[in-house]
Structure 1
Amino acid sequence: MQRFLLVFYVLFSSLFFTQTRLNLIPYPQKIELQKGEFIIPETFILSGNLPQKETDYLKKRLSSVLKFENRVKGGGIQLENSSIPATALMNDQQRDKYILEISPKYIHIKSVTNCGYFLALQTLIQLLEQYKDSGKIPSMKIEDEPKFAWRGMHLDVSRHFFTVKEVKQYIDYLAMYKLNTFHWHLTDDQGWRIEIKKYPKLTQIGSKRKESMIGAYVDNTFDGKPYGPYFYTQDQIKEVVKYAQERHITIVPEIEMPGHALAALSAYPELACTKGPFEPATKWGVFDDVFCPKEETFTFLENVLDEVIRLFPSQYIHIGGDECPKTRWKECAHCQELIKKNNLKDEHGLQSYFIKKIEKYVNSKGRKIIGWDEILEGGLAPNAAVMSWTGIKGGVEAAKTGHFAVMTPGSYCYFDHYQGDPATEPNAFGGFTPLDKVYSYNPIPAELNAEQSKYILGVQANLWTEYILDFKQVQYMIFPRLFALSEVGWGTADPENYKEFEGRVIHEFKNLDKLGVNYAKSIYNVSGKVIPSENGVAYELSTSQDQNGIRYTLNGKDPEANASIYKNPVPVSKSMTIKSAYFENAQLKSAISSQSFTISKTTGKKIMLEEQPSENYSFGGAFTLVDGITGNQRQLGKTWLGFQGKDVVATIDFGQKIQFSEIYFNTLDNKGSWIHFAKSAQIFISDNGTDFKLIKEIAKDEILSAKGKIRLNVGDQNVKYLKVRIENAGIIPAGNPGADSKAWLFVDEIGVN
């Protein structure tokens, strides 16, 4: 039990505050506005019984605008000592509960733990920043606690490295918005970033690469510049861990295994199934060479984990476990013998054997493992927790079997995805995850009952850095989406009231400006959404600002202040390019957004899919295939649908018989991301929607020669229904990234002329 009191010298006011919403992120669980105001003084008088480190943090955050003075008693100030009693039945979230009372006489914090006190300070700092210009804060009582115990952000330092100073800044951002877990991705194919004293070659060799891939993956171009050596010494790791602890943030280190191991194998090739030689990867993606499950490998990994565990006091150690191709294991005599000896079903069973062996060792050290959802392959280790990234399925499976899970699905929580129009954004890995989508996420899957839901630890967003070259770009990719994540994790996100949240985000930009943060301004841009209309489709424009400020053109020219004022969705009945922007007082205030339409006889028609796309690449659903927008083959943004291991079977209902003679669609080839051209395609027609006739087939060779841009002459047709079957490449063959895994099939617009 602790008693924390924060008391300041004040003046009195009798004004009653009537504002109903405060500019706080994340928004508290309960706010009760009261009569009167607290006058912000020039000098804060702090009572003498406050937690020192947390109070020092407060002073540092506000020292540029306020002075502080410590006193056991203040002149005429009535001191109050009170607390929230802790009970054995409290969970971690309840132990972080705080009550913040602001009256005309004092500011008073009650909490169970120092962490609760620290969280209260974050709220108080936001209030002081919000009201310091007016000089007074409305009286109020805030009762608050987080919904989820795990509120995390991830940072990949393997693809691109960030300094200790930058990592500390990253941790500060988490603390400011009440996140409590920093997932530090320290090793991968492209770089080993943590000093391991027993194995010095890990950083001597594995922390550098001869060059790096640049631009779009399909370009296959490189910068020709050596990268590294970059790594953190153990003393630097200790420094960062201490820094995080002072901000009540747990660092969860990740040491990748059994896949994503090229940097380690470059240093110690004897740990592989083949002799190598190996080098840290210069490309992005997934590679066949992985750790071989032999005794010397386990000895190596146990020794590495010993040093990692000594450095990081976290309950969980992340062991990766994702995207581990089985190609080398299939060809390895030792691996095949191990499968037989242990009565394992196959190489997926061998992955489970590997993970369980590592888990047993980590458990013996008093810690637990967490891994990406592929650790479910072949059976989950007894005490393992799952980080569900490929969707929600892994988290659901874990929770239903009594295992803890952290929800981090790529479709909502991958901050390396585009957050605005890809044409106006810096190059990103792919996908489309705007602010409102992050804000709409509910970490508790609908499939879980109340008891199973208790196994959902919380939510995390991930920042992979293939295309993030410096810390300014890190800032750009996480802000403002971190605000949405913060509120989702706190449990107060209200997607139906998104516009209100958007207003608080824009207000918080002022504080980011003061901190010099390079945040994304996509929220100011005009965004477009294709919607069905009577005559095909229409283009609906919106902005976070005054809708009357939207200007647009239909002739492909950049809009000016005197261009058409947007009032209603723009009908799109022919091929055209719509450009739009936001203007204020005749001044351009946003980037210029551009969208080209290619209209065909399928545009806006009813479409049904037999298999749904992956959650990560499903923006707009089936309608995306008939919205008049052709996908950009260099950007996996919102114009593509992605299917892993599934065929695309789309049936289009024209509503009446129509004539056409050509069918077109595009597929992608991006093998580093496991995306392969379609294996084949078939075209069917029908008059009744039940009995379909095959009229055209196209084989893989023809698809390859067309480079995925398919144009088929089908002769003169006059029908009501069209069915297109596009066959997935299936299992990725040996010699390709992701071999033995299900290939991805990406498809865009299906059109007919």
Structure 2
Amino acid sequence: MIRTFLVFFVLISNVILAQNKLNLIPYPQKVQLLQGEFILPETFILSGDLPKEETEYFKKRIEPQLKFQYAQKSGGIHLTSSIIPASSPADAEHKKEYYSIEISPNQIHVKSYTKQGYFLALQTLVQIFEQYKESKKIPAMKIEDQPKFAWRGMHLDVCRHFFTVDEVKQYIDYLAMYKLNTFHWHLTDDQGWRIEIKKYPKLTQIGSKRKESMIGAYVDNTFDGKPYGPYFYTQEQIKEVVKYAQDRHITVVPEIEMPGHALAALSAYPELACTKGPFESATKWGVFDDVFCPKDETFTFLENVLDEVIKLFPSQYIHIGGDECPKTRWKECAHCQELIKKNNLKDEHGLQSYFIHRIEKYVNSKGRKIIGWDEILEGGLAPNAAVMSWTGVDGGIEAAKSKHFAVMTPGAYCYFDHYQGDPQSEPNAFGGFTPLEKVYSYNPIPSELNAEQAKYIMGVQANLWTEYILDFKQVQYMIFPRLMALSEVGWGTSDPKDYKEFENRVINQFKVLDDMKVNYARSIYNITGKVIPSNTGIAYELSTSQNTNGIRYTLDGTNPSINSKTYQNAVQIPNSLTIKSAYFEEGQLKSAVSVQPFTISKTTGKKITLEQQPSENYSFGGAFTLVDGIIGNVKQLGKTWLGFQGKDVVATIDFGQKTPFSEVYFNTLENKGSWIHLAKSAKIFVSDDNRNFKLIKEVEASEIQNASGKIKVNVGAQNAKYLKVNIENAGIIPAGNPGADSKAWLFVDEIGVN
């Protein structure tokens, strides 16, 4: 009986805690609600011995709501703290971000091992005060907290589009608000060199500007005709930003790209290339063949650049890029070929490894370490290098298994230049589909690693590339609210099963962003749709972060109104039509109108299998995406295409019974700047037993090219139970194209028959 009572009491306590969950992001490791309340006074008294800089930051965040005064530590003090001396250096490192907060009716007391821990505690207090600023009654509680991951980062590309010092400071403030601790500053690329190097003034005189910029979707190949720049940060401005970040306990990691993404530097110093040039900063996005040539004068240049960079940035790591370096020029360069022979290198990938090793040795001699994108694994990883795994998780796995540190930043979860809502109602973006829920679902520790190997995963980072981000308002739009999901993933308290609860905390945080006048994305209010198989073919499930009773939809092409059909169950799609849906609250439209056309064929909703799976970055919906009745938009990769790098698409569709048809269609995409090439060829087969297949049609490259990837072929009168379509990848990208010598991407859309 006593045991039953105790269990019942514990269950009731857990229910109360769940119902009163604090509006905190990231959520702390341990929260215990206590008896009583702390009443916020008109004037908040601060102990005179509190760490000054951190406390002043706290005051500025809260001062619009409260008045403050300092007083010596004595009875009645409302905010006190104690810094606990570490028992050992190792303990200090482990607990440098630890803090506890105890709120009693009489005072708030913070404990930490460092000022950094104290600062993180203040971020939590700010959110608590914001939650209870109306009632001014804060429940008594005890919080004990520290992050799971040491590296919790956000990246910002200032090369494609430039942002002012004040805007960069705002960006750093956003990181601090949600307890991120690393700012990765992408300062050089093909489209612009953004950091003053006093030894090489032409880098900013010439390399910080371009004659025009690409606009719209990449496939449009249109330009604005407007000179861009010169835009760069002086060394004094760099110091100002670094100090600003340090005051918020954020480390700034600079990135100086090499050996690729070097056109802006080569425009200023063409002698560093394999060919004579001339060169100019890129006006298009993408990847270019002209890269740094690995000759002595290039290494002298880069070492001199790094000398100035290292003096400006006290970070342990210097990011040296290393990604997307085509080997075209190296293959044609006599010096490069001689260098390969002289050093017994296997090939140009070995030359890339030689390049990175040499740079690492120099950086190490300055007491620093290098980190680079996962292509630095090519030809063998430098001895002390850390890997930033972006193409997927494999780079991080390989690094950790070889006892190298890694930061996980896979594009499928951590690229915030992707769409976060329906591409039709979002600003133009790079592509991909990475909604808030997907970011929140990410686990930075790959399942392939054992406990010992997992120790080499330093943490997680999200990246914001700015090809399509023209101003800081759009920067805000792309990072919020996804930055909140990233913060909780990095803190180690995210739980995908509780996503809806997290989403509610996000919506509560919107009030804070409103007060700050932040232009955040409201995509979670919008209607999201999911195609599911049904007895009649397919059905369309609609959902929203709000009550689904507020969803209205139409099937006749008109925009929904409050009087349109109320959504109750998945909408059956018996034939080709367009669903328009929106969310209404108290009679008012609260979301964008979502528009989804359907094109129904005899394959729609049928069982489909793939012999090879798509890249994780472009796998939304899996194989069913190819038979879901949705035709992809060629200008927006979004969520309606499957992407395969270096792989053929071999899809088998089971009609369920013998089915007559005479036409087969499918779409492939071409966007060479993003390494996406049309299919090389295609073959179409039929079968009645799923074992013995008969070839009924071959589609040649010329036919695919002439149709611009929109393939529709007459296959004669057929009557079969199974259809197999083998779409051949273009293979290795040929010289003269962006990404030459790399595996081409193949993007495939709906496979239909009539």
TM-score by length of 2: 0.97
Aligned to 1:707: 708
Aligned to 1:724: 725
| Paired residue secondary structure (2:475) | helix
For 1:600 and 1:587, locate their aligned partners in 2 and report how far apart those are by CA, in whole Å. Answer: 37
Render the CA deviation track for 1:139-172: whole Å, top value 9, x for unaligned.
Answer: 0000000000000000000000000000000000
1:157-172 equivalences in 2 (<5 Å): 157-172=158-173
Q: CA deviation at 1:556?
A: 1.3
Aligned to 2:221: 220
Render the CA deviation track for 1:211-240: whole Å, top value 9, x for unaligned.
Answer: 000001001000000000000000000000
Aligned to 2:38: 38
Aligned to 2:349: 348
Q: CA deviation at 1:284?
A: 0.2
Aligned to 2:9: none
| Paired residue secondary structure (1:90) | helix
Render the CA deviation track for 1:454-495: whole Å, top value 9, x for unaligned.
Answer: 000000000000000000000000000000000000000011
Q: CA deviation at 1:95?
A: 2.0
Kept in 1: contact 2:46–2:79 (CA 8 A): no
Render the CA deviation track for 1:680-734: whole Å, top value 9, x for unaligned.
Answer: 0000111100111111001111100000000010001111111100000000000
Corresponding letter in the other structure for 1:591: A
For 1:209 and 1:476, locate their aligned partners in 2 and report how far apart those are by CA, in whole Å. Answer: 26
Aligned to 1:324: 325
Q: 1:81 to 1:428 in 2, by over 3 A?
A: closer
Structure 1 stretches of 5 or more lacking a match? 1-15
Aligned to 1:64: 64
Kept in 1: contact 2:44–2:78 (CA 8 A): no
Aligned to 1:133: 134
Corresponding letter in the other structure for 1:655: G
For 1:623 and 1:78, locate their aligned partners in 2 and report how far apart those are by CA, in whole Å. Answer: 59
For 1:358 and 1:208, locate their aligned partners in 2 and report how far apart those are by CA, in whole Å. Answer: 27
Kept in 2: contact 1:92–1:149 (CA 8 A): no
1:341-380 equivalences in 2 (<5 Å): 341-380=342-381
Q: CA deviation at 1:84?
A: 3.9
Aligned to 1:150: 151
Render the CA deviation track for 1:612-661: whole Å, top value 9, x for unaligned.
Answer: 00010000010100111011001011000000000000011111110000
Aligned to 1:695: 696
Confirm or deny that 1:73 pairs with 2:73: yes
1:82-101 equivalences in 2 (<5 Å): 82-88=82-88, 89-90=90-91, 92=93, 94-101=95-102
Aligned to 1:7: none
Aligned to 1:402: 403
Aligned to 1:573: 574
Kept in 2: contact 1:674–1:737 (CA 8 A): yes
For 2:495 and 2:747, locate their aligned partners in 1 and report how far apart those are by CA, in whole Å. Answer: 32
Q: 1:187 to 1:79 in 2, by over 3 A?
A: closer
Q: CA deviation at 1:408?
A: 0.3
Q: CA deviation at 1:404?
A: 0.3
| Paired residue secondary structure (1:739) | coil
| Paired residue secondary structure (2:91) | coil
Confirm or deny that 1:258 pairs with 2:255: no
1:425-444 equivalences in 2 (<5 Å): 425-444=426-445
Q: CA deviation at 1:82?
A: 4.5
Kept in 1: contact 2:76–2:107 (CA 8 A): no
Corresponding letter in the other structure for 2:22: L
Corresponding letter in the other structure for 2:66: L
1:574-653 equivalences in 2 (<5 Å): 574-653=575-654
Q: CA deviation at 1:135?
A: 1.0
Q: CA deviation at 1:205?
A: 0.1
For 1:394 and 1:17, locate their aligned partners in 2 and report how far apart those are by CA, in whole Å. Answer: 40
Corresponding letter in the other structure for 1:413: C
| Paired residue secondary structure (1:431) | strand
Aligned to 1:418: 419
| Paired residue secondary structure (1:31) | strand
Confirm or deny that 1:503 pairs with 2:472: no
For 1:502 and 1:132, locate their aligned partners in 2 and report how far apart those are by CA, in whole Å. Answer: 21
Render the CA deviation track for 1:503-549: whole Å, top value 9, x for unaligned.
Answer: 00000000000001000011110110111112211100000011100
For 2:81 and 2:164, locate their aligned partners in 1 and report how far apart those are by CA, in whole Å. Answer: 42
Aligned to 1:310: 311
Kept in 1: contact 2:76–2:106 (CA 8 A): no
1:9-28 equivalences in 2 (<5 Å): 19-28=19-28
Corresponding letter in the other structure for 1:35: Q
| Paired residue secondary structure (1:590) | coil
Q: 1:80 to 1:23 in 2, by over 3 A?
A: closer
Confirm or deny that 1:123 pairs with 2:131: no
Q: Quick one: percent identity of the two aligned structures?
A: 81
Kept in 2: contact 1:100–1:109 (CA 8 A): yes
Kept in 1: contact 2:49–2:73 (CA 8 A): no
Aligned to 1:206: 207
Q: 1:476 to 1:302 in 2, by over 3 A?
A: same
Corresponding letter in the other structure for 1:702: E
Aligned length: 738
Q: CA deviation at 1:428?
A: 0.2
Aligned to 2:51: 51
Q: 1:68 to 1:297 in 2, by over 3 A?
A: same
Kept in 1: contact 2:78–2:108 (CA 8 A): no
Kept in 2: contact 1:650–1:725 (CA 8 A): yes
For 1:561 and 1:194, locate their aligned partners in 2 and report how far apart those are by CA, in whole Å. Answer: 54
For 1:147 and 1:535, locate their aligned partners in 2 and report how far apart those are by CA, in whole Å. Answer: 48
For 2:92 and 2:688, locate their aligned partners in 1 and report how far apart those are by CA, in whole Å. Answer: 61
For 1:199 and 1:265, locate their aligned partners in 2 and report how far apart those are by CA, in whole Å. Answer: 12
Kept in 2: contact 1:17–1:37 (CA 8 A): no
Corresponding letter in the other structure for 1:454: K
Confirm or deny that 1:546 pairs with 2:547: yes
For 2:77 and 2:588, locate their aligned partners in 1 and report how far apart those are by CA, in whole Å. Answer: 52
Kept in 2: contact 1:626–1:750 (CA 8 A): yes
For 1:439 and 1:239, locate their aligned partners in 2 and report how far apart those are by CA, in whole Å. Answer: 33
Corresponding letter in the other structure for 1:750: I
For 2:752 and 2:718, locate their aligned partners in 1 and report how far apart those are by CA, in whole Å. Answer: 14
| Paired residue secondary structure (1:280) | coil
Instruction: State the 4+ residue runs in structure 1 displaced beyond 6 angstroms.
Output: 78-81
Q: CA deviation at 1:67?
A: 1.2
TM-score by length of 1: 0.97
Q: Provide the aligned C-alpha RMSD in A.
A: 1.2
Q: 1:92 to 1:573 in 2, by over 3 A?
A: farther
For 2:301 and 2:78, locate their aligned partners in 1 and report how far apart those are by CA, in whole Å. Answer: 61
Corresponding letter in the other structure for 1:205: I
For 1:20 and 1:591, locate their aligned partners in 2 and report how far apart those are by CA, in whole Å. Answer: 32
Structure 2 stretches of 5 or more lacking a match? 1-15
Corresponding letter in the other structure for 2:449: L
Kept in 2: contact 1:93–1:145 (CA 8 A): no
Q: CA deviation at 1:59?
A: 1.0
For 1:520 and 1:182, locate their aligned partners in 2 and report how far apart those are by CA, in whole Å. Answer: 22
Q: CA deviation at 1:90?
A: 2.9
Kept in 1: contact 2:80–2:108 (CA 8 A): no
For 2:22 and 2:339, locate their aligned partners in 1 and report how far apart those are by CA, in whole Å. Answer: 61
Aligned to 2:454: 453
Q: 1:505 to 1:196 in 2, by over 3 A?
A: same
Q: 1:715 to 1:179 in 2, by over 3 A?
A: same
Q: CA deviation at 1:49?
A: 1.5
Kept in 1: contact 2:548–2:567 (CA 8 A): yes
For 2:230 and 2:696, locate their aligned partners in 1 and report how far apart those are by CA, in whole Å. Answer: 58
Corresponding letter in the other structure for 2:607: K
Kept in 2: contact 1:73–1:79 (CA 8 A): no
| Paired residue secondary structure (2:37) | strand
Q: 1:623 to 1:79 in 2, by over 3 A?
A: closer
For 2:20 and 2:426, locate their aligned partners in 1 and report how far apart those are by CA, in whole Å. Answer: 36
Q: 1:175 to 1:206 in 2, by over 3 A?
A: same
Q: CA deviation at 1:86?
A: 2.1
Aligned to 1:10: none
For 1:137 and 1:314, locate their aligned partners in 2 and report how far apart those are by CA, in whole Å. Answer: 39
| Paired residue secondary structure (1:95) | coil
